[in-house]
Amino acid sequence: MTHILQLNASARPGYAGIDEHGSHSRNLTRQFVNRWLDHSPADTVTYRDIGATPPSFITRDWIQAAFTPADRQEPWMKNVLAESDQLIDELIAADILVIGAPLYNFGMPATLKAWIDLVIRMDRTVKYDPTKLDDPFIPMLNYRPRHAVILSSRGGVGFEPGGALAHMNHLEPSLVTALEFIGITNFHRIAVENQEAGGELLADSVKQAEQRVEELVEELQLVRRSNRVPELA
């Protein structure tokens, strides 16, 4: 059985095409999860709306607690780390991480960065071995294949790899760097573009993105059945 962790990071609470100023990235994550469950209704989903309920920012107390060995932590430290523990447990349980993330000012929403900061934690999702001088960091989530599906929305065009504005897109590259660091290595990226242009250009982009979501679900369903890991998409 496959377990999905669905994250929505958009500040827009509704769905594009249904609600005023609705979110395209929320549409894509909903489509992915619904299509997946159409194929595999017994599979399970944890839903977390970090756009509506942002994770906490890390603080001085959090840093002190996170870098104190578990057997030396004081009770207040465990309380400070409780939210991080819950988010990490949700991530560890997931086989597929579905992230709805609009491109805000060339990067990820602050709520998603806060989530990243809470799930990348020493001795929970990554270890440090000072004897390995070239690469002392050891990912802890690489003991089984996990997939990260990044479903984004952008105001303009050309932010995809090889595009004219790819150098200004720090959303997907930052997510890939952070998640690879803890051991998630299978990535899939789909985006709606032309939100600023609107009209037919946006409609065509939405249609293409939705078609790619359908195809990706089919692809990962095959992976699920064959138990093989696809190459980076």
Report yes or no on 107 lying in a domain: yes
Coil, strand or helix at 41: coil
For residue 45, the enclosing domain spans 3-226
Q: Give the pLDDT confidence of 125-142 residue by residue, as tens digits.
A: 999 999 998 899 999 999
Q: How many domains does the chain have?
A: 1
Report yes or no on 231 lying in a domain: no
Q: State whether the Cα torsion 118-190-174-194 is positive or negative.
A: negative
> Which tokens sit at 131?
């004897």
Report yes or no on 9 lying in a domain: yes
On whether the CB atoms of residues 51 and 39 are closer than 8 A, the answer is no
User: Parallel, antiparallel, or unpaired for β 186-192 and 147-153?
Assistant: parallel
Report yes or no on 233 lying in a domain: no
pTM above 0.75, yes or no: yes
Spatial separation of the C-alpha atoms in residues 132 and 141, rounded to whole Å? 19
Q: Kindly tell me if the per-residue pLDDT of 228 is higher than 70.
A: no
Q: Kindly tell me if the per-residue pLDDT of 51 is higher than 50.
A: yes
Report yes or no on 184 lying in a domain: yes
Which amino acid appears at position 114 of this protein? A
Report yes or no on 80 lying in a domain: yes
Find the CATH number of the domain harbouring 21: 3.40.50.360
Per DSSP, the chain holds a count of helices (H) and strands (E) of: 7, 7
What pLDDT is attached to residue 45?
98
User: Which of 32, 157, 29 lies closest to 103, judged by CA?
Assistant: 157
HSE toward the beta carbon, residue 83, CA cutoff 13 A: 16
Q: Give the pLDDT confidence of 102-161 residue by residue, as tens digits.
A: 999 999 999 999 999 999 999 999 999 999 988 999 999 999 999 999 999 999 999 999
What pLDDT is attached to residue 33?
98
Q: State whether the Cα torsion 164-170-173-176 is positive or negative.
A: negative
Tell me the helix, strand and coil percentages in the chain, rounded to 5: 40, 20, 40
| 205: number of Cβ within 10 Å | 20
Known binding residues: 10, 23-25, 153-156
Report yes or no on 232 lying in a domain: no
Q: Give the pLDDT confidence of 172-206 residue by residue, as tens digits.
A: 999 999 999 999 999 999 999 998 888 999 999 99
Report yes or no on 134 lying in a domain: yes
Known binding residues for FMN: 10, 23-25, 153-156
Q: State whether the Cα torsion 232-89-101-65 is positive or negative.
A: negative
What pLDDT is attached to residue 133?
85
Q: State whether the Cα torsion 221-31-94-104 is positive or negative.
A: positive
Among 75-84, 120-129, 184-193, 218-227, whose mean pLDDT is lowest?
218-227
